[in-house]
Amino acid sequence: MGIAKGRFTIDTHVHAQRAAIKWQERGLQPDWVALGKLRAESTPYDNSPRLLYDMERYNVDMCVLNPYLDPDIDVKLLKQYPDKFVGMYGGAYYSQKVRRGEVKWSIEGLCQDLDEQLSTGLYVAIGESMPGGRPNQDQNKLVDWEQRFADICQIMEVAKKHKVTVGWHTGGASGYAGGRRQLGSRAFGEGGNPLLAHDVAAAFPDVPLILTHGGIDGWWRERTWELCLEVAAAHPNVYLETGQWWTELYEKPLRDPNIGVERLIWGTDWGAAHPIQWWPGAYPSVYFDQNRKEGIPAHQVDIFGQSLRWLDRLDITQDDLNLILGGNAVRLFKLESKVPHTRFFKQFLK
């Protein structure tokens, strides 16, 4: 088994920051439950040296930086490496003002912040998930979909104005606190129910909607993945992120005439703390997820290598593989100026 390579490879889902909890300094024993509570109080740092090293090793030409705790870190990287990184924005500067008590949260204020930041030209998308940001939102309280949909429509109007994509988070790892939000629609829990994206995709057919993770954000369950396929098959403006898919998951969407290779984009979630689990003789034999019986991972998981090994097993043409690994992202995020040559990717005269 080799490592899949593309003509111009773009990972559409990368986090160049990592969070330091500083367990010893706090006098705490590392614990999964505490991790969920302390993440917002952690110290973010620039993890790009490891990212750039992995990009060189695995022939990844560009990455789309997805937001994390400190937006200034991403802005610095976007300006320092314009040929390596482009960015997504999710309203972080506005959320900081809300947390500091400088402004009271409103959907109008959030959308104004999105509009201002997208106007800088630094960002190519809204994401990785549909922005929310209501302070102190009770994660166990159901949010009325009619109100949430009205908020989302205002966000989509901003995306339409700037001609950018919008992310819709799907799936969740089972091993830590994030997994508790993946099974139902709680708080901003549309991530647990991709079928709600039908409403948004139908209302804004000209705005590309990316189902980030494509239903697989850790764990072996395929239920959310199936729901993502249903949404993608029904709406030509819906795209699926595939970086954590094992090889077999590519087969149905590739064969489906209403999805096809043109709407699959490679996005791994590089930088996330999802260790690799191995089930010899089972299906899938390898997948990403936390393991509560093990300690919290301190190493940099080699998600590039594992994801590319899955892709290498696909029985498709190199031209189609080039679309998944970069060509579709070039078109979706309007990155033609970043590619060294034209006519790299599959196209036909009509």
Contact 217, 183 (CB under 8 A): no
Mean pLDDT of the chain, nearest integer: 89
Question: Does the residue 2 lie in any domain?
Answer: no
Whole-angstrom CA distances from 212 to 45, 216, 243, 285 are 24, 9, 9, 23
Point out the least confidently predicted range of 27-31, 43-47, 210-214: 27-31
The answer to whether 164 and 115 are in contact (CB under 8 A) is no
Mean pLDDT of 213-224: 92
What is the residue range of 249's domain?
Answer: 27-338
Within a domain: residue 77?
Answer: yes
For the four alpha carbons of 239, 245, 247 and 248, in that order, the dihedral sign comes to: negative
Specify the residue for token string 């403006």.
237
Q: What is the mean pLDDT of residues 178-192?
A: 53
Q: Is the predicted pLDDT of residue 41 greater than 90, yes or no? A: no
Residues 225-274 have pLDDT tens digits of 999 999 999 999 999 999 999 999 999 999 999 999 999 999 999 998 78
| Beta strand segments in 179-330, E | 209-212, 238-241, 264-265, 276-278, 286-288
Q: What is the pLDDT of residue 14?
A: 97
Looking up residue 304, the CATH number of its domain turns out to be 3.20.20.140
At residue 218, the pLDDT reads 85
* Confidence label for 183 from pLDDT (cuts 50, 70 and 90): very low
The pLDDT of residue 188: 45
pLDDT in tens, 198-214: 999 999 999 999 999 99
Residue that wins the pLDDT comparison between 93 and 20: 93
In a domain, 301, yes or no: yes
Least confident of 76-90, 92-106, 291-305: 291-305
346 lies in some domain: no
Residue 273 domain flag: yes
Among the residue ranges 65-79, 185-199, 271-285, 331-345, the one predicted with the least confidence is 185-199
Number of domains comprising the chain: 1
Residue of higher predicted confidence among 242 and 175: 242
Cis bond upstream, residue 157 (ω within 30) = no
* Cβ pair 346, 327 in contact under 8 A: yes
Q: Is position 235 within any domain? A: yes
Residue 290's pLDDT band, with cuts at 50, 70 and 90, is confident
* pLDDT mean over 9-38: 78
pLDDT of 134-166, one tens digit each?
655 665 666 778 888 999 999 999 999 999 999
Residue 159 lies in a domain: yes
Tell whether 162 is covered by a domain: yes
